[in-house]
Amino acid sequence: MMRFGLGVPTGTEGLMYTVPYADIDQAVELARAAERLGFESVWGNDHVTTQRYVRADFDQPPRYYDVFAYLSYVAAVTTSIRLGTAIMVLPFRHPVVAAKQAATLDQLSHGRAVLGVGIGAYREEFEAMHPGTHLHRGQHAEEAISALRQLFTERSASYHGKWVAFEDVESYPKPFRGHLPLLSGGNSAGSRSRAARLADGWLPACLSVGEVRSGARLIRDEAEQHGRQLPGDFEIALQVGVSVAPTREQARRRFESSQIFRHLLSLSKTTLKDQGVDDLFSRNLVGTPQDVAEQVEAYREAGVTTMAALLFAADSVEETIDAMAQFSQEVIAPDGVSS
């Protein structure tokens, strides 16, 4: 059975949504609405400073909220919804700090945290924090994920890598149930490889059904090559945009006029460069309710377990909640997820 998750606005203004989009109270209300409407999870992204192209497009700075502080607050005003990062940018935090933040969130929520991690879409953010510092983000991610695993499981953790190092760290408390799901975020071969060898799942974005199927097969093959049996609950959580309307033409027009569409076009030179953006409509949930239900089923058959961090083609929080309610009634409820 497919699970559905909402992308919450911890760092979406100027990127997936216009500026302004959601103040902090509205951002929390979106998470509450998600649980009320039958969404299984919420997923927050991670930014620290405004990207150059966003500054050029908007006069007003976007509001980027700390993803762990936000999800911790949401944990207190919800009861069952999973709380995920999509993604936590690994170079922003030392793994010792990240492990403490993630485990604390997991304790506060009684085991509802999911840690999606990746290298980040914008190198300029890391460079703003560390001017003149060179970092191989792929190699760093390899070490950081391994370090997080140690910090989550070992009483005294030490790690000595090229990019990550610490000695004799007792990081307590551990995750609530002793294990915190860790997903490798990104569409690249490196992200898939880290998912196969080190993670509990894969968190890509805007892939076609065929690309998901191929990626899942490559992950299974590499895991086998390294003698690893993927867990039965290995999660493939796909991030996409959503535009549902009575007709396909209406859905396409709404999607094409959205900030989400403009953002995906901007990623064609970075995060989505390997996939291309020749058909963003088929890489997102765009169409009538029947069209979208059929596409969700095709993704499920290809291996997707969670339609995660869904972003709705809307211009305001009010429009977003209306679109969520429609999606819940016409797509989630028939799938048997919503009560």
The residue extents of the domains of the chain are 3-335
**Full pLDDT tens readout for the chain, 339 residues:** 999 999 999 999 999 999 999 999 999 999 999 999 999 999 999 999 999 999 999 999 999 999 999 999 999 999 999 999 999 999 999 999 999 999 999 999 999 999 999 999 999 999 999 999 999 999 999 999 999 999 999 999 999 999 999 999 999 999 999 999 999 999 999 999 999 999 999 999 999 999 999 999 999 999 999 999 999 999 999 999 999 999 999 999 999 999 999 998 887 766 665 555 558 999 999 999 999 999 999 999 999 999 999 999 999 999 999 999 999 999 999 765 433
- Determine the distance from the C-alpha atom of residue 92 to the mean position of all C-alpha atoms in its chain, rounded to a whole number: 16
Q: Angle CA(64)–CA(66)–CA(70) in degrees, nearest 5? A: 110
Say how far residue 149 (Cα) sits from the centre of its chain. 19
Single-letter residue type at 264: L
Per residue in 321-330, is it b (16+ CB within 10 Å) or e — as a string? bebbebbbee
Q: How many CB atoms lie within 10 A of CB 214?
A: 15
Q: What is the largest CA-CA distance in the chain?
A: 60
What type of residue sits at position 157? A
Q: Which residue in this structure is represented by tokens 């999800």? A: 71
SS (H, E, C) the chain: CCEEEEEECCCCECCCECCCCCCHHHHHHHHHHHHHCCCCEEEECCCCCCCHHHHHHCCCCCCCCCHHHHHHHHHHHCCCCEEEEEEEEHHHCCHHHHHHHHHHHHHHCCCCEEEEEECCCCHHHHHHHCCCCCCCHHHHHHHHHHHHHHHHHCCCEEEECCCCEEEEECCCCCCCCCCCCEEEECCCHHHHHHHHHHCCEEECECCCHHHHHHHHHHHHHHHHHCCCCCCCCCEEEEEEEEEECCCHHHHHHHHHCCHHHHHHHHHHHCCCCCCCCCCCCCCCEEECHHHHHHHHHHHHHHCCCEEEEEEECCCCHHHHHHHHHHHHHHHHHHHCCCC
The CATH architecture one would assign to domain 3-335 is Alpha-Beta Barrel (3.20)
